[in-house]
Amino acid sequence: MADQQPVFDYTSSAPWEQVIKSYGGSEQINEAIREMVSSGKRKDECWEAIWDHEVRAFENDEEFREEVKAIYEAAGVNLLSVTPWTHESHVSERTGQRRDLSRWQARFDAAEWLHKVTSPEDARHVAENGDVGIVLNTQNVGAAIDGSLDRIDVLYNEGVRIFQLTYNYQNMLGTGCNDPAKGGLSTFGREAVDRINELGGIVDVSHCGKQTTLDTIEYSEKPVAVTHATCQSVSQHYRGKSDKELKALADADGYVGIVTLPWFIAPGEDRPTLDIFLEHLDYASSIVGVENIGIGTDFYPADAKFPRELLEYYKQHIIELGFDREKVEQRRIAAGIGEFKTYTDWPVIQAKLGERFSETQQEGILGENFLRFWDRAI
């Protein structure tokens, strides 16, 4: 990927192709999980173990590192925002995030072409050199700091730059998008926003409830991002943003990234296509402006490659995170949308943009819009 324009995607994790390749293929990873379960491991422990296995392979096997690099090159994405996360039920989210942050640091240390990106300048440099940059985020500041504002500094020192205030449920900062409570940004939440602003982090309200989103946009001294969401006026889903929220974001010079998850952008449709993704992008641009929209696919599609041995566990896990049980159980959670079936299919998204946006607008949506927003936000 030599001398390329920035192509940014909020993706949440490393590609599933990456961990599958570390085992040699889908059957091998499923067999490894079965063996772990037979030895007494819980499914949540298996999830963590397969990613530890991938990191060891990434550190020690140059051929595997090149295979991983080829995934990003085929996708044509050179800037990704990923979420350090935990699946282990017996550890705190704060502890689990630190564990996953250490995995990413191990990857950075092992590959000359993979970089921790902590500024817009870093991002542009990485893209120009044909490398891959990772912008670390947290999707639940409330859980990550566990009542201590000083821990925002700890996350920032470790390279986290995007700070989502809440996940789906209420925490000490505010209310999540699928919580029955309708509360707004708390006093402690305001203190957290102040600290993120002071450090030069990005305040993200993608999963926040409506009132918390509106309060945060109004309160923050710096522009606020919705890095990965949908437009409720196109498809009604609690992970979407209302016109009122989008207009507030526009008035505050904010940014909106649109997801490709089919059960978010096209709830109720059996086989949606990327046309619905374009509809969300187009609608967002009509309110916040085409110069303030981008892409946040949010989840690597894996289809049949997703480890069968973990699929039912994963469905239950995301139900516990606040997603609707009925919708989760009805959906192929790892499914792609249209021709976007695995992460290496990402070029079909770029091609789709050409149906509705000019070349200059496409360059903005693919990455320049996010980087210009990042400049404003710090």
Question: Residue 227: enclosing H or E segment and its boundaries?
Answer: strand 225-231
Question: Structural domain tally of the chain?
Answer: 1
- In the prediction, which pLDDT does 2 show? 40
Contact 267, 217 (CB under 8 A): no
Give domain status of residue 102, yes or no: yes
In which domain, by residue range, is 62 found? 8-377
Confidence (pTM): 0.96
Q: For residue 89, what pLDDT band results from cuts at 50, 70 and 90? A: confident
For residue 358, what pLDDT band results from cuts at 50, 70 and 90? very high
Average pLDDT of the residues in 111-138: 98
Residue 237 — very low, low, confident or very high, per pLDDT cuts 50/70/90? very high
**What is the number of residues in the chain?**
378
pLDDT at 303 over 60: no
The 10s digit of each residue's pLDDT in 91-120 is: 888 898 999 999 999 999 999 999 999 999
Does 3 reside within a domain?
Answer: no
| Residue 287 included in any domain | yes
Residue 121's pLDDT band, with cuts at 50, 70 and 90, is very high
Instruction: Enter the tokens of residue 332.
Output: 């192929």
Give yes or no for a contact between 97 and 371, defined as CB atoms under 8 angstroms apart: no
Place of tokens 């509360």: 183
Is residue 1 situated within a structural domain?
A: no
Q: What is the CATH number of the domain that holds 369?
A: 3.20.20.140
Domain assignment present for 267: yes
- Band of the pLDDT at 48, cuts 50, 70, 90? very high
- Which of these ranges, 284-293, 320-329, 359-368, has the smallest mean pLDDT? 320-329
Helix (H, G, I), strand (E, B) or coil at 34: helix
Q: Residues 317-338: what's their mean pLDDT?
A: 73
- Within a 10 A sphere around the Cβ of 197, how many other Cβ atoms? 18
2/285 Cα distance (integer angstroms)? 30
Highest mean pLDDT among 93-97, 141-145, 329-333: 141-145
pLDDT confidence of residue 14: 85
pLDDT band for 333, please (50, 70, 90 cuts).
low
Enumerate residues 6+ apart whose C-beta is below 8 A from 12. 82, 83, 85, 139, 228, 298, 299, 300
Alpha carbon 46 to chain centroid, angstroms? 22
* Dihedral (CA of 316, 320, 323, 325) sign: positive
Of the listed ranges 181-185, 193-197, 233-237, 302-306, the least confidently predicted one is 302-306
- Helices 26-38 and 308-320: angle between axes, nearest 10 degrees: 70
Q: Does residue 80 fall inside a structural domain?
A: yes
Two tokens, residue 19: 């961990």
> CA 130, CA 113: separation in Å to the nearest integer?
8
Does any domain span residue 2?
no
Computed over every residue of the chain, the mean pLDDT equals: 93
Mean pLDDT for 237-261 is: 97
| The CA-based dihedral angle spanning residues 40, 46, 51, 56, taken in that order and rounded to the nearest 10 degrees | 10
Give whole-number Cα distances, 116 to 130, 153, 255, in Å. 14, 17, 22
How wide is the angle at C-alpha 334 spanned by C-alphas 331 and 338, nearest 5°?
A: 85
DSSP assignments along 272-314, one per residue: --HHHHHHHHHHHHHHH-GGGEEE---S---GGGS-HHHHHHH
First to last CA, the chain: 28
User: What's the rounded Cα separation, in Å, for the pair 252 and 157?
Assistant: 27
Half-sphere exposure of 163 (CA within 13 A, CB side): 38
Is 30 inside any structural domain?
Answer: yes
Q: Whose CA is closest to 297, among 11, 6, 7? A: 11
Tens digit of each residue's pLDDT (9 = 90 or more) over 194-217: 999 999 999 999 999 999 999 999
- Please check whether residue 293 is in contact with residue 256, taking contact to mean a CB–CB distance below 8 angstroms: yes
Taking residues 242-247, what's their average pLDDT?
98
